[in-house]
């Protein structure tokens, strides 16, 4: 387990003063940091065609980008390249543990864990990201420079699939050592150049744009064949110019659309389902054959431990203690009685259920049936 040490800052102070505002270097953010994955294991993942990996290499002023799966890394030599592997939390439970210290931000804002291996001199070049990120230094040392957002910076492509930014003024310029953490808000230019063979772990966040939200809502309405209320205009005034869409009509269109968003149930069901959809294919741990509920009950009572599938998105909502809970897992909604808050929280707040937490699901036939369904879908699995 990794414990985050913000030094003199509390999490509340970090959120108030830095989150989405300014970058922060957290020296010794993890004490005695142990890499959860080795460079060789990371390279092994990048050989797999299901894994999203890129290798960026700098040759003098030229930048090259190769996409995985890779066969070997020999041709890249000893320096000036970085291998980046996306969503390592989907594939590697030990690496996924690095997301846990950051759960003071809710699940739905967390994206995934990207891991990079850099040879000395390696980096992806100065660039901007649209999302918040915590970059954890694993083995080796890397010099990081970070600046504040600056509208005068220009972005350019030194390679068709690589977006970089012009020279920026750094407010942080430090050599990071194992266990150091760099927080970078969206839009802050940054550049990391490795001094040694080094590993970096990026805990990335996500923030949907209005386009994504409206698009996601439209998909939901289509999927569930929700027509909503149709435009109506009793008391219409005579049109002076039939070609005009006048502002009164536009105002009514806006009102009709806002009325849809004002429907609490619709907003809640859609958003929970939208935001828990996996962004890439999950490595489902579906048991073959499926378990019977009685078998699961035995395992749970015997002290088994259940792990949640890496990358599985789980959230819940309960507007008040009297109302049903809406639990969302991988885009599906499961309504639970108001009294099942413990169940919802265990499934969404925890990525591992210890023996005592597991026994909770053997206590009623409904809980047992539900956990059996989730295990048979490959969402939770018995940890050896
Ligand atoms: C890296 O780990 O090399 C890249 C991280 C980043 O700058 O977003
Ligand atoms: Co970046």
Per-residue pLDDT at 1: 85
Nearest to 336 by CA among 326, 345, 346, 323: 326
Asked whether 65 and 125 are in contact (CB, 8 A), the reply is: no
How far apart are the CA of 208 and the centre of ligand 2, in A? 18
Give tens-digit pLDDT for 258-276: 999 999 999 999 999 999 9
With CA atoms as reference, report the closest residue to 93 among 373, 261, 263, 306: 306
Beta bridge partners of 317: 326
Please give all residues whose CB falls under 5 A of ion ligand 2, grouped by chain where several chains appear. 129
Decide: 208 and 216 in contact? Cβ < 8 Å.
Answer: yes
Question: In a 3-state reduction of DSSP, which class is residue 172?
Answer: strand
Q: Which of 30, 173, 45, 165 is nearest to 98 (CA)?
A: 30
* Range(s) within the chain of domains with CATH label 3.40.366.30: 293-382
Output the residue whose Cα is nearest ligand 1's atom 1: 116
The CATH classification of domain 293-382, taken from the options 3.40.50.1220, 3.30.70.360, 3.40.366.30, 3.30.1600.10 = 3.40.366.30
What is the Å distance from ligand 2's center to 123 Cα?
10
Q: Are 194 and 118 in contact (CB under 8 A)?
A: yes
> What CA–CA distance (Å, rounded) separates 185 from 183?
7
Sheet of 314-317: strand order equals 314-317, 325-329, 332-336
Counting DSSP H helices and E strands in the chain, the numbers are 11, 19
Q: Give the Å distance between the CA of 7 and the centre of ligand 2.
A: 24
Q: What confidence tens digit (pLDDT) does each residue in 73-104 have?
A: 999 999 999 999 999 999 999 999 999 999 99
- Which atom of ligand 1 approaches the CA of 127 most closely? 7
Buried b (16+ CB within 10 A) or exposed e, 261-297: eeeeebebbbbbbbbbeeeeebeebeeeeebebeebb
| Ligand 2 mean position, distance from CA 124 (Å) | 8
* C-alpha closest to that of 117 among 180, 184, 49, 201: 201
- Give CA–CA dist 71/239, Å, rounded: 69
- Which pair of structure tokens corresponds to residue 256? 């009709």
Residues touching ligand 1 (Cβ under 6 Å) are 82, 116, 124, 129, 133, 135, 190, 192, 200, 202
How far, in Å, CA of 80 to CA of 365, rounded? 58
Q: Which ligand has the shortest distance to the CA of 188?
A: 2
Ligand 1 center to 272 CA (angstroms): 30
Which of 192, 193, 203, 205 to mutate to test ligand 1, by most ligand atoms within 8 A of the CB atom? 192
254 CA from centroid of ligand 1 (Å): 41
11-205 belongs to CATH 2.60.120.650: yes
Listed in order, the ranges of the chain carrying CATH 2.60.120.650 are: 11-205
Q: Is residue 53 within 8 Å of 70, Cβ to Cβ?
A: yes
Q: At what angle do helices 264-275 and 210-223 cross, to 10 degrees?
A: 100
| Rounded Cα distance, 338 and 324, in Å | 4
User: Of ligand 1's atoms, which has the minimum distance to the CA of residue 118?
Assistant: 3
| Residue to mutate, 116, 119, 144, ligand 1, most ligand atoms under 8 Å from C-beta | 116
- 328 backbone dihedrals φ, ψ, rounded to 5°: -120, 125
* Dist CA 250 CA 229 (whole Å): 16
How far is 31 from 40, CA to CA, in rounded Å? 23
Question: In tens digits, what is the pLDDT along the chain, a chain of 384 residues?
Answer: 899 999 999 999 999 999 999 999 999 999 999 999 999 999 999 999 999 999 999 998 899 999 999 999 999 999 999 999 999 999 999 999 999 999 999 999 999 999 999 999 999 999 999 999 999 999 999 999 999 999 999 999 999 999 999 999 999 999 999 999 999 999 999 999 999 999 999 999 999 999 999 999 999 999 999 999 999 999 999 999 999 999 999 999 999 999 999 999 999 999 999 999 998 999 998 999 999 999 999 999 999 999 999 999 999 999 999 999 999 999 999 999 999 999 999 999 999 999 999 999 999 999 999 999 999 999 999 997
């Amino acid at each position: 387990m990794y414990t985050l040490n913000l030094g003199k800052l509390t999490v509340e102070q970090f959120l108030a003063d830095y989150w989405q505002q300014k970058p922060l270097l957290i020296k010794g953010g993890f004490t005695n940091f142990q890499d959860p994955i080795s460079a060789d294991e990371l390279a092994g993942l990048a050989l797999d065609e299901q894994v999203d990996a890129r290798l960026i290499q700098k040759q003098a002023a030229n930048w090259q980008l190769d996409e995985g799966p890779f066969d070997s890394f020999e041709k890249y030599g000893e320096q000036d390249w970085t291998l980046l592997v996306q969503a390592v939390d989907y594939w590697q439970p030990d690496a996924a543990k690095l997301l846990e210290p950051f759960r003071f931000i809710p699940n739905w804002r967390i994206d995934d864990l990207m891991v990079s291996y850099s040879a000395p001199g390696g980096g992806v070049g100065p660039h901007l990201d649209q999302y918040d990120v915590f970059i954890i230094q694993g083995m080796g040392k890397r010099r990081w420079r970070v600046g504040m957002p600056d509208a005068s910076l220009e972005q350019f492509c030194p390679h068709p699939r690589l977006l970089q930014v012009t020279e920026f003024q750094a407010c942080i310029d430090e050599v990071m050592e194992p266990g150091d953490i760099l927080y970078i808000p969206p839009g802050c230019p940054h550049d990391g150049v490795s001094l040694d063979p080094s590993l970096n772990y990026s805990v990335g966040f996500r923030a949907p744009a209005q386009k994504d939200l409206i698009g996601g809502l439209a998909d939901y309405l289509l999927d569930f064949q929700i027509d909503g209320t149709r435009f109506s205009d009793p008391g219409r005034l005579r049109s002076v110019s039939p070609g005009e869409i006048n502002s009164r009509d536009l105002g009514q269109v806006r009102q009709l659309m806002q009325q849809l968003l004002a429907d609490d149930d619709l907003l809640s069901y859609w958003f929970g389902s939208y935001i828990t959809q996996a962004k890439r294919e999950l490595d489902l741990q579906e048991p073959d054959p499926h378990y019977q509920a009685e078998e699961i009950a035995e395992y749970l009572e015997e002290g088994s431990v259940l792990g949640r599938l890496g990358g599985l998105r789980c959230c819940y909502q309960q507007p008040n203690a009297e109302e049903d809970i809406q639990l969302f897992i991988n885009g599906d909604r499961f309504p639970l009685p108001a009294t099942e808050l413990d169940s919802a929280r265990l499934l969404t707040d925890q990525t591992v259920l210890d023996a005592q937490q597991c026994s909770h699901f053997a206590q009623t036939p409904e809980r047992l049936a539900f956990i059996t369904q989730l295990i048979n879908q490959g969402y939770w699995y018995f940890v050896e």
